[in-house]
Structure 1
Amino acid sequence: MHFYQQRKISLKTRINVMRAYVWSILLYGCECWTLPKDTEQRPEAVVMWFIRRIIKVSWTKRKTNADIMDMAGYKKFLLNTIRERQIKIFGHIIRADELKNY
């Protein structure tokens, strides 16, 4: 049995472990990604898949993502995190170019 399926561990801890381990791998290099509108939802879909696994709700059960997020106490903000990282690296690039001109 995987750690995220053990009932001894609280749901909040399992979600935090997912954020610590899965997000670090999922978001690796996201500063350089180009996300067209049709693929913007893919990272969130992966996170929803993990959350469904954590709370043991099969995808065949007709539960909406909003219901799953309410059950897990999770809010979508992965795409915002990606955008923030992209803006941050863009700022570094712009400042680096300005420093070269001096």
Structure 2
Amino acid sequence: MRRTTEDWGLFSTLEDLDFEDDLALMSRTHQQTYGQQVGLRISTKKTETMTLNVELPAPAKVNGEELCQTDNFIYLGSIIKPEGGTKEDIHSRLDKARGVFREMNNIWRSAQYSTSTKLKLYQSCVVSTLLYESECWRITETDLTKLQPFHTICLRRILRIFWSKKVTNEDLLSRCKKGDMSTIITKRRWRWIGHVLRKGPQSTTRTALHCTPEGKRKRERQKT
């Protein structure tokens, strides 16, 4: 990978994402030259290509075999799409967080654990699952209207506040000493930015922070 990225100029333009056996290559002109020299082979059955800002993409081939085209892929648990993939990622994270919360129903109903302990478990297990990689989401008001109700419903069930008890969301968050989803995500973003800025100037993470993809994003139509 070091020999390959020397030709790409990694520290001026982000060209690859790699983690153990998961590898995402982003390039217009990259030719596979070093992999076979060190005994690496590309599996055409497991490899897919995705193009950005190209109306008629030319097929990519490896050893004469054409690679399959895709409009999305999952990298380290996040959904990547030409449009960004935030909406799909949020939908996926909500499903996973609901599953985690459901699996812990016995804890929420138990009288053996204090409310403080339950809230700590909720924060460490459910919220961390829900907001995984939320620092990079392009959040809209519509997205927040999906995240916030899940957050308040979970807290009401933990505190056993049912519909007959008239408790506002503000009072609920105050009792739990929790912020709303907008505040929580904002804090996570500031912590992430601080972590990135403390890295060296040649860090891949800092390169990604200032990365500007080529082409133009399609303008979204406003609904009337």
In our comparison, the structure showing a higher alpha carbon Rg is 2
1:39-82 deviation per Cα after TM superposition (whole angstroms, max 9, x unaligned): 32432321111110111112353321123234x43221542332
Deviation at 1:95, TM superposition (A): 2.6
Identical positions, percent: 24
The residue type equivalent to 2:124 in the other structure is A
User: For residue 206 of structure 2, what is the aligned residue in structure 1?
Assistant: 95
Task: Kindly provide the amino acid, as one letter, of the partner of residue 27 in structure 1.
Answer: L
Distance 1:33 1:75 in 2: 21
**Relative contact order (C-alpha < 8 Å, sep 6+): which is higher?**
1
Question: Which letter maps to 2:184?
Answer: T
Q: Which runs of 5+ in 1 are unaligned?
A: none
- What is the match of residue 68 of structure 1? 172
1:11 to 1:26, Cα distance in 2 relative to 1, 3 A: same
AA matched with 2:139: L
**C-alpha spacing 1:2/1:94, structure 2 compared with 1 (3 Å):** closer
Corresponding residue pairs, total: 97
State the Cα distance separating 1:86 from its structure 2 match: 3.8
| Conservation of the 8 A alpha-carbon contact between 1:31 and 1:85 | yes
The structure with the greater share of residues assigned to strand is 2
Q: Normalising by structure 1, report the TM-score.
A: 0.71
The aligned counterpart of 2:57 is: none
Cα distance in 2, alignment partners of residues 57 and 15 from structure 1: 14
Rounded Cα–Cα distance in structure 2 between residues aligned with 1:22 and 1:79 = 16
2:158 matched residue in structure 1:
54
Runs of 4+ in structure 1 over 3 Å off: 84-87, 91-94
* CA–CA separation in structure 1 for the residues paired with 2:187 and 2:122: 20
Partner of 1:2, secondary structure, is helix
SS state of the match for residue 177, structure 2? coil
